[in-house]
Structure 1
Amino acid sequence: MKEYKWATLGCGVIANQLAQAFAANGRKLYSVANRTHEKAVAFAEKYGIDKVYDQIDDVFSDDEVDIIYISTPHNTHISYLRKALRAGKHVLCEKSITLNAEELEEAVRLAEEHHVVLAEAMTIFHMPIYKELRSRMDAGEFGELRLLQMNFGSYKEYDMKNRFFNRNLAGGALLDIGVYALSFLRWFMSSKPDQILSQVKYAPTGVDEQASILLKNKEEEMATVILSLHAKQPKRGTISFDKAYIELFEYPRGEEAIITYTEDGHKEVISAGSTDRALEYEIADMEAAVAGEADRIHLDYTIDVMDMMTSIRKDWGMTYPEEEH
């Protein structure tokens, strides 16, 4: 396979993990773009990256760049996606890929028009443990899927200026952690839920601090999601079938699952992949997609999840400044 040249747009935590993932495989990023040039220079020096752009938009006109990884705040994604896709660049974009379904629809259309690959960096779609469980589920080992239960709670200090609670940075539980829970559900459910009920508790800034969501699809598979940015919960997903139930901890970057069989209660522990290699799996699947191999990026699931999140926020009447025009 061709060795593709990657550029990172952004120098935050995820960009550092991306650079480290390349280093683990004896590679490095081709270039770095960032709004603050000094940060880009420091990032390049840290990881031995040869090219730093004077202006952030210069990355889009660089003919050498094959794939751009966007890891800026989610409310900036659509503006960068427009520029990257129109420039004919393949894009792997950090979650949440856009603010809403309308923006994502535009990005998908641009990717199709310019014959490039667009994908969300949703680790659940790439980690080996999820692929292993899905394969065994599809083989019928666990029987019919009935219920899914998702908990995702983190404790963030009440600093209303940070990105978690800041409306101007598209803060809130749904786009920050709910996207993982809903992606987990969509990975296992037979179809996108078409019945959704929810409740929300707002932070003082007007973003969703806490939410509970009930979902059901046409196959009558049901799910619950409980989210919080100010109450720690175990990161636990439970997938219940008629022949077994599966518990997966520390998602989204899980590596181990416990299967309990209904008939006699015996347990099976399975492991696959490594949490530490999450970005390596994303890189490999993205490059396979760019090379024209079988679909390993699951943009259809990304679209379904964004549709659900947009519907939920519409029910709440919660918008971001970019949507109020």
Structure 2
Amino acid sequence: MTTATRELNWATLGTGIIANQLAQALESNGRRLYSVANRTHAKGVAFAEKYGIGKVYGHIDDVFDDPDVDVIYISTPHNTHIGFLRKALAAGKHVLCEKSITLNAGELDEAVALAEANHVVLAEAMTIYHMPLYRKLNEIIDSGALGELKLLQMNFGSYKEYDMANRFFNRNLAGGAMLDIGVYALSFVRWFMSSKPDRILSQVKTAPTGVDEQAGILLTNPDGQMATITLSLHAKQPKRGLAVFDKAYVEVTDYPRGERATITWVDDGRTEVVEAGRTADALSYEVADMETAIAGDPSTMHLDYTRDVMAMMTEIRVGQWNMTYPEEER
């Protein structure tokens, strides 16, 4: 495993929005991406010029053979992730992979086994697990001040135009609400729940392409904690998470990269605002936690939560909805 005695060399596989945010996060700390890999070489060159990156690969797979690359951030469409994960992990590279990390639990199990066999860190870039706000809320919860968690209510919806070629609705690009936004809601639920839900009920409305456009999910874990989730791709909702305890409830708005929460105490109705971190620094927190994991503390990346969430998404989408993607049907 790479040690943390020197600055780690990060490579980006992909040049989209998240790759730009990664480059900017490193820049904010006085660093640069080491290299860029992309299917379209010209886009890779333009990206490198924009951020002063010294190396662009002639072929996307060349990044896996570069001995100077320590960490690869994969931000390509999620139906391509497992193919790149196999190559990166087998090559002994640490990998931070954009959500959803894989299409299903079977693919994730394969990737985890490869990471363990090659003694490298594998993690999903789930911002909820790295924003300082959630750690601060956990400190308050652990103090017992809020009492016991009873239930969670989650909303996440956006209004996407009915362009069935767009990745949001395109079955060939693993479109649908579950893998795109459901992963955030389920990650929020898993963060606060004391254990993984073991009872799941759901309903789904499909888009004309057959992917999930809208869904309602009800979860209960062995401790009796419950959660309700409402997802939509063609109906705008607030990105709101609500955690309800005996003595208070906690509301987080814009929760995927939350920086502010409001606690309302049930005895007298008073409110308390909790603030920590900055939304704009989300990728910086992920990078810092990933480098901590590589240095020897993998708990900072919460792969256990990632596996629980992927298991739930697979049970719902495949097990309950019988909804699969072409890659899963081969």
- TM-score normalized by the length of structure 2: 0.98
- Quick one: which amino acid aligns to residue 94 of structure 1? E
- Can you list the C-alpha shifts for 1:148-186, whole angstroms capped at 9, x where unaligned? 000000000000001000000000000000000000000
- Can you list the C-alpha shifts for 1:2-37, whole angstroms capped at 9, x where unaligned? 310000000000000000001111100000000000
1:120-131 to 2 correspondences below 5 Å: 120-131=124-135
Structure 2 residue 51 is the aligned partner of structure 1 residue 54: no
- Structure 1: 5+ residue stretches without partners: none
Deviation at 1:262, TM superposition (A): 1.3
Deviation at 1:109, TM superposition (A): 0.2
- Tell me if structure 1 keeps the 8 A contact 2:240–2:253: yes
- Quick one: which amino acid aligns to residue 64 of structure 1? D
1:11 counterpart residue number: 15
1:239-254 to 2 correspondences below 5 Å: 239-254=243-258
| Matched residue SS, 2:227 | strand
How far apart in 2 are the matches of 1:123 and 1:242? 27
Structure 2 residue 111 is the aligned partner of structure 1 residue 107: yes
2:195 counterpart residue number: 191
Which stretches of structure 1, 4 residues or more, deviate above 6 A after TM superposition?
none
1:142-221 to 2 correspondences below 5 Å: 142-221=146-225
The one of 303, 307, 313 equivalent to 1:303 is 307
2:322 counterpart residue number: 317
How far apart in 1 are the matches of 2:125 and 2:145? 29
2:239 counterpart residue number: 235
The one of 57, 75, 80 equivalent to 1:71 is 75
* CA RMSD of superposed structures (Å): 0.6
- Can you list the C-alpha shifts for 1:267-307, whole angstroms capped at 9, x where unaligned? 00010000000000000000000000361100000000000
Give the paired residue count: 325
How far apart in 1 are the matches of 2:275 and 2:298? 24
1:95 counterpart residue number: 99
- Can you list the C-alpha shifts for 1:64-84, whole angstroms capped at 9, x where unaligned? 000000000000000000000
Structure 2 residue 294 is the aligned partner of structure 1 residue 290: yes
Deviation at 1:139, TM superposition (A): 2.0
How far apart in 1 are the matches of 2:52 and 2:185? 36
1:25 counterpart residue number: 29
- Can you list the C-alpha shifts for 1:47-69, whole angstroms capped at 9, x where unaligned? 00000000000000000000000
| Matched residue SS, 2:235 | coil
- Quick one: which amino acid aligns to residue 44 of structure 2? A
Identity %: 73
How far apart in 1 are the matches of 2:143 and 2:41? 51
| Matched residue SS, 1:190 | coil
- Quick one: which amino acid aligns to residue 67 of structure 2? D
| Matched residue SS, 1:235 | strand
- Quick one: which amino acid aligns to residue 100 of structure 1? N
- Quick one: which amino acid aligns to residue 129 of structure 1? L
- Structure 2: 5+ residue stretches without partners: none
- Quick one: which amino acid aligns to residue 18 of structure 2? I
| Matched residue SS, 1:164 | coil
- Quick one: which amino acid aligns to residue 33 of structure 1? A
- Tell me if structure 1 keeps the 8 A contact 2:150–2:225: yes
Deviates more, 1:256-265 or 1:289-298: 289-298
- Quick one: which amino acid aligns to residue 246 of structure 2? D
How far apart in 2 are the matches of 1:162 and 1:138? 43
- Tell me if structure 1 keeps the 8 A contact 2:121–2:298: no
